Structures are given as structure tokens and as C-alpha cells.
Amino acid sequence: MLKVVLNNTSRGFKSRFSLCLRAAAPITITRSGRCFTSISSDPKAQEKGHTDVAVAVASDNDPSIDNFPYGRVHYPVMQDKVIAMIDPKPGGWYCDATFGEGGYTKALLDCCDCNVVAIDQDQAAIEKCELLASMEMYKGRLFPLQGQFSNMGKMISNFRHENRASSPSPLVFDGVVFDLGLCSSQISSTQRGFSYLKEGPLDMRMSLEDPKAQASRTAINSRRTIPASVVVNTFPTSKIKEIIEVYGEERYSKQISEAIQKARSIKHIGTTTELATIIEEALPLKHIRSSKRSNKHGGDGGGPGISHISRVFQALRMYVNDELNELQKGLQVACHDLLKPGGKVVVVSFHSLEDRIVKQFFKNNKPTLEVLTKKALIPGENEVSNNRPSRSAKLRAALKKL
């Protein structure tokens, strides 16, 4: 493994690049603006799989890639692959459709003198984005917008109307990025109810925020979500079974839904740990081991794949937030209404249903899109060992035809 560090000092900026290259294949590094973003290697070596290139970019004004104006505990999956695929250019406009904790947004802004519109439906994420946008090096280049995928078109239209002096043509973006995973801060927050590892209210809404705060913002949300506690305590048993079976792909959906119905007839199910216990006790004894809640990585059990409890929580979260429909609508708006010809869309998914939607969308829109990933890209061994939640991630990308 050869590590090369390159410095660029144009326009008073230095950028740090870590380049990891396996095998002795010749490479060419092409400078773009104030950073080197294009990397090519010997095609024959690439075909044989001998070359593995990864680039990480950071600005010298920000010596560490982790120098955020807020405490960050989440590290975006396959960030080097995402940025290399988008290949940002100076003056370009890019959309991070899932800001989260700003990993992709910051990487795009640090790569060159480009602009990013960052979208998230989570108030906490938008507040972090506003902090990042207030930093001197990002002022006038980062624009936070709050809302759902399905409302991206309306949000961008409003943004253009309010920022006529700085915003570009109606087809705004040179690249759009979707990261469909949860942030570590969302999982670790007991008040959100996403995790069963700690006791908290059974909520799971992505757009959770105080109604007064929401009214004061320019948030655009077309769908009022209900908390997971409403689903668990009031929905028919057959509907709960369907949700768990379809969204969680859980084999014991019948046993679990019946156990929920029995438990709620005795007492209201109000917390994450209460639901987790009900699920665990509904499982056949031979499968309880794979659903233990003591795993430090957020829900993996001793058995293969994710635990049964994780599947149920995942199913409820996806239903509560209408995630699959939102993804379909987001891809439609991004690729057909917002992406420039020659622009790229990159999607990182963590669930087989999500990946299937992305794959099928790209396939069904071949007259408009050129698929850039014949097979989904996956994290390398090092990333998986250092960041366990990345193990199920898949990256797909497409280019909008001219």
C-alpha cells in the first residue's frame, strides 16, 4: 500500500489529499479548481482488479475532516466513492438530499469552490446545517432547506425565487446525493425512539419537532406522520403483521403481531424497551439468542443478519415515515426535474427494498439516465471493520444524458 499526500496552495487554500493505491499501476491526477479530483489509472490494471484508489479531501482552513461546529458522531459511508462519483467542480451546484450530520455536504464544499443545497426533514439536522453554513469558509455556499424528498421540487423552486441573484437555471444541480441510512445521533437519542438499546418513547418520526418551531420555519412537509406508538397500540393485528412482514422481511411477523395485540390489551405499549421485550418473548426459543439487545453495534445478534427486534423496529420506522414512497418520489423529482444534463445522482442505501427501488428506477429510466454502476458498490473491508453499520450499504449512481 502506497500513501501519497498532495498539497494545493492556489487562492490561499491548501487541500490535503490522501491517496491509497494498491499495485504499481500508473495514475494521472487532474487538477480541478483548487483541488485534484479526477483520478485515472491503467485500464488493464483496473480490469484485472489490481488498482484500488480512494481519495479523501480536506481544506487547510479546516485541517481535520472532523472539524465540525457541532459534536459529530456519525461518519458517512463510502464518502470517498460518493465524492469521486460526483466529481464536484468549482462553481457547480450540488444537492445533499439527506444532510444528516453533514459529512457529504462538507466533503463537497471542501473539495472545491462549489455550492451545496442541503435538505433534511429533521429539525436537529437543519440546525446543524445552519451552524455549518455560518462558518466563514462556507458562507454564501451552503443553503439549508427543511422538508421531505417528495417536496424537493417545491423547496428548490422557492429557494430559486428567494435567491434570484445567486441561484442558477431551473435545472439546478450538477449532482444529487441520497444517503438513506440513519445518523448515529438519531439512533443514540433516546427521545427519538429509533433504537431499542435504551429506553425511550416509541416515536420513530424523522420530522419530529415542536409544532411552534416548525411553524416558524420554511419547512415543507406534505405528510403528517404518526408516532410508532399509534401503530403498535391502535392498528389491527393484521396490518401490524403486514408492516412487519413487508418492511422488515421478518419471518415471525404473525407471532410478533399477535404478541403485540395481547400485550396492548393489558397495558399501553409506550416505550422502546417494552416493545423490544414483547418481540423477544414472542420468538421461538431457538431464535432468542439472535435477538439479544446487548450488542454494542446497535442490534446485531449472535445469529446471521440483523436481529428480529431490529427488523421490527426498522419496519415500523419505514412505515411511519413512508420511506419507500418518499424515495420513489425523491428519485423522480431529482432526476427529471432538478438534475442538469450531464449531472449525476448517487444513492447509498442500507436495505434490500431501498436498493431494489433504486436499481429498478435507473433501469426503467434508461432513455434519460446512463447507469454508472453495473453492480452496486459496497464498502471495503477496512471501512466495514471500522464502521460496522456500513456493512449493508450499497451505492448506485447514474448520469443524466445530454
| Biggest CA pair distance of the chain | 69
Assign 388 a pLDDT band (cuts: 50, 70, 90).
confident
CA distance 123 to 341: 32
Q: How many CB atoms lie within 10 A of CB 238?
A: 11
CA–CA distance, 371 with 15 (Å, rounded to integer) = 31
| CA end-to-end distance (rounded Å), the chain | 39
What does pLDDT average to over the chain? Answer: 77
H or E element that contains 344: strand 339-349
pLDDT-derived band at 133 (thresholds 50, 70, 90) equals: very high
Decide if 125 contacts 181 (C-beta within 8 A).
no
Residues counted in the chain: 402
Query: Residue 230: how many CB atoms within 10 A of its CB?
Result: 13
CA–CA dist 64, 248 (Å, integer): 38
Asked if 371 and 398 count as a contact pair (C-beta separation under 8 A), the reply is yes
pLDDT band at 169 (very low <50, low <70, confident <90, very high): low
Q: Tens digit of pLDDT for each residue in 233-269? A: 999 999 999 999 999 999 999 999 999 999 999 999 9
CA distance 352 to 392: 9
pLDDT at 150 over 60: yes
**DSSP letter assigned to residue 384:** H
397, 85 in Cβ contact below 8 A? Answer: yes
For 238-295, the DSSP string reads HHHHHHHHHHH--TTHHHHHHHHHHHHHHS---BHHHHHHHHHHHS-HHHHGGG-TT-
- Strand, helix or coil at 121? coil
Q: Which fold has domain 68-213+340-402?
A: Rossmann fold (3.40.50)
The domain locations on the chain are 1-63, 68-213+340-402, 226-320
pLDDT at 174: 96
- SS3 at position 327: helix
Handedness of CA 362, 366, 370, 372 (dihedral sign): positive
CATH topology of domain 226-320: DNA polymerase; domain 1 (1.10.150)
Q: What is the CA radius of gyration of the chain?
A: 22
Residue 151's SS3 state is: helix
The answer to whether 17 and 35 are in contact (CB under 8 A) is yes
- The pLDDT tens digits of the residues spanning 68-107 come to 666 655 578 999 999 999 999 999 999 999 998 888 999 9
Distance separating alpha carbons of residues 180 and 209, to the nearest angstrom:
20
Query: How confident is the model at residue 39, as a pLDDT?
Result: 38
Give percent of the chain with pLDDT exceeding 70: 68
